[in-house]
Amino acid sequence: MPVLKEETVAIGSDADVVLVRQLVRRRAQELRFSLVDQTKLVTAASELARNALEHGRGGEMLLQVLQDPPRSGLRLVFADQGPGIANVELAMKDGYTTGGGLGLGLGGAKRLVNEFAVESTPGKGTRITVTKWH
């Protein structure tokens, strides 16, 4: 699938989470996503960036603009070198949390996008890929 554009944002502090939100919003607007779709993707990005920050000790987001005529899409890859997720299935469940939150992060983010994939190796890190199509 042709990738039109690629950019990377480092996630090292909570100000970077704001930068992630702003970049994703800008690209989603450029692709003329509907307002609801923009909001869903930006919210998912915010959840995953914070996840990388809190559980992965920081990391980065790779943003790709995809072209698959007649569709266009945005793919976000969040990668960290944190402790990883021991039980991915469990972590996807609503209410599961290690960070003291509501535990809606991963499962919630999944419901906001079209495609969602988690690869995690305990001790090595986590890689979460989400895609939203327009």
Q: Which residues contribute to the site for other proteins (CB under 8 A)? A: 14-15, 17-18, 21-22, 25, 35-36, 38-40, 42-43, 46-47, 50, 94, 101-102, 104-105, 107-109, 111-112
Sheet holding 71-80, edge to edge: 3-11, 59-68, 71-80, 125-133, 115-121
Helix and strand counts by DSSP (H, E) for the chain: 4, 5
For other proteins, give the closer residue by CB, 22 or 98: 22
Which alpha helices (H) appear in 1-134, and where do they start and end? 14-30, 35-55, 88-91, 105-111
Q: Looking at beta carbons only, is 54 or 80 nearer to other proteins? A: 54
Which is closer to other proteins, CB of 74 or CB of 121? Answer: 74
State in angstroms the smallest separation of the CB of 58 from other proteins. Answer: 14
Q: How near is the Cβ of 121 to other proteins at its closest, in Å?
A: 26
Nearest-angstrom CA–CA distance, 104 and 75? 21
- Work out how close the CB of 40 gets to other proteins at its nearest, in angstroms, rounded to a whole number: 5
What's the rounded Cα separation, in Å, for the pair 95 and 22?
Answer: 27
How far apart are CB 44 and other proteins at their closest, in Å? Answer: 8
